[in-house]
Amino acid sequence: MWACYLLDALIECGVDQLRLISPEDIQVQLPCSEDLFVRGTPCVTELLPPRELLPAIHTGFESNIDMRAFYIRAIRLRAKILKYVKALEDEIPWEPESSSQFSLLEAELQNLKSSIPDTFKMTLANKYLYKASGRLNLFFGLHILLSQTSNDLYRICVSQLVFPDTSTKWIRDNSPRTFLQRCHLMCLDKAVYIATLLKDLWLFNKPSLVDTFYANHVQICSSVLLTTLLSWGEAEPLIPQFDYNDYGTMLRDNLTIMQYLQKYLKVDAYCQSTKEAFKRFNKFFTVEAPSQIGRPLKDVIISDQTVTRSQSSLEYILNPLGTYPLARKQTQDHDTSSSFEKGEIEPQATTTGTNVGSFDDVVFPSPFEWGSEILMFDSAGYPTFLDDFTGWNSGSLEWDVGRGG
């Protein structure tokens, strides 16, 4: 049931006409904890709304909720936010407290984040715990999804980050500077955090990245990072501790990860979009020598060869009959029998500085072969930078240096 709901919510992206399953009609318990499931112990968990149980059931079962339950709740909230972003007429998001829909969604997002128990929070101890249990894919996926949901909401003040761009023009032109800056800061901060998590998972256990969800996360991360920098366009940096060298390294690392995923999944359009974001960054920003703070992935020798069990991955848990567990099995076989035994990194990912030239040697399939990959592109409304190839999102990217475009 929950696998069907997640698939429906991902396709819906805030469009009621595309939705088959209404979350208000679901009277099914959320998944229980992994330990109870493995032991076959019957238990009671909450419903989709927080702190709501089936009729005639007493409280006190919050600890039975699994990490998958919070992922499902995050997907539900993201669908609500995407619906809000698609209908911004008469909305004044900077109004205080509960007088705007933006404030209500912002509060709901904060409540969801604060409800995450310590056992599911991003800590070093939990990383090793979920690595041992083969659940890194879901663990990192939950935290990346929460950050991406923040970007879904705060992007309404970032030029070109909502399609069509005219839908947010009034908000950008009339919002107070403090609100405009806060939205840009949140988008950039969450994009940086997602890029950090992606690199962390790459270094911690590469096979856990082989998942179509992660291809979507990487593409949107690069899109938000570049577009927010272009939209801000002021001398005052949003995050003083990062410079353009650091951002360039993040975009390059995202492309390296995407090309790794391309070996095992059909993500050609995602990969081309991530590559175009990196190329446009080099076009608009002058970057000096590679930063020593964040080395590119190609410079790091991966010593961790522990293989995650594919049966514990996110898409296997939600769709055990799917094809992606086979792709991850192929990834594991490849990683344990190829270049890592020799201490080498894939030559495809080798670059010098921020030069994207070596990536041009990679042959991408024709846009006509991208097929269903475009579905998640268009539905979420983020820029893809593929207009030169297909005509999608073909609006002119003319950036105003000033109040967010």
Q: For the segment 48-75, what is each residue's pLDDT rounded down to a tens digit?
A: 767 666 665 555 555 677 888 899 999 9
Between 24 and 206, the higher pLDDT residue = 206
Q: Is the pLDDT of residue 18 over 50?
A: yes
Residue 288's pLDDT is: 54
Q: How confident is the model at residue 346 (pLDDT cuts 50, 70, 90)?
A: very low
- What percent of the chain has a predicted confidence (pLDDT) above 90? 38
Residue 53 CA from chain centroid, whole number: 30
CA angle 156, 162, 167 (to 5 degrees): 75
Residue 405's pLDDT is: 46
Is residue 70 within 8 A of residue 112, CB to CB? The reply is yes
Cα–Cα distance, 214 to 292 (Å, whole number): 26
Residue 53's pLDDT is: 66
Residue 39's pLDDT is: 58
SS3 32: strand
Q: Is the pLDDT of residue 343 over 50?
A: no
Phi-psi category of residue 158: left, alpha or beta, with phi > 0 → left and psi -120 to 50 → alpha = beta
Q: How confident is the model at residue 277 (pLDDT cuts 50, 70, 90)?
A: very high
Contacts of 179 (CB under 8 A, 6+ apart): 93, 94, 157
Kindly report the backbone phi and psi dihedral angles of residue 263, in degrees, each rounded to the nearest multiple of 5, phi listed first: -70, -25
Q: Is the pLDDT of residue 308 over 70?
A: no
- What percent of the chain has a predicted confidence (pLDDT) above 70? 62
What is the mean predicted confidence (pLDDT) over 41-54?
Answer: 70
Ranges 118-127, 250-259, 319-328: which has the least confidence:
319-328
What is the mean predicted confidence (pLDDT) over 221-240?
Answer: 91
Is residue 268 within 8 A of residue 369, CB to CB? The reply is yes
**Which of 337, 354, 102 has the alpha carbon at shortest distance from 252?**
354
Between 176 and 236, the higher pLDDT residue = 176
Cα–Cα distance, 315 to 325 (Å, whole number): 8
**Please, what's the b/e burial string for 287-321 (b: 16 or more CB within 10 A of its CB; e: otherwise)?**
beebbeebebbbeeebeeeebbbbebbbbbbbeee
What is the mean predicted confidence (pLDDT) over 347-352?
Answer: 40
Q: How confident is the model at residue 81 (pLDDT cuts 50, 70, 90)?
A: very high
Q: What's the chain's average pLDDT?
A: 75
pLDDT digits (tens, 9 = 90+) for 357-404: 445 544 455 444 444 444 455 567 788 877 665 544 434 344 443 444
Residue 62's pLDDT is: 57
SS3 90: coil
Between 331 and 156, the higher pLDDT residue = 156
Tokens of 323: 């094809």
pLDDT digits (tens, 9 = 90+) for 163-197: 888 888 999 999 999 999 999 999 999 999 999 99
Residue 182's pLDDT is: 94
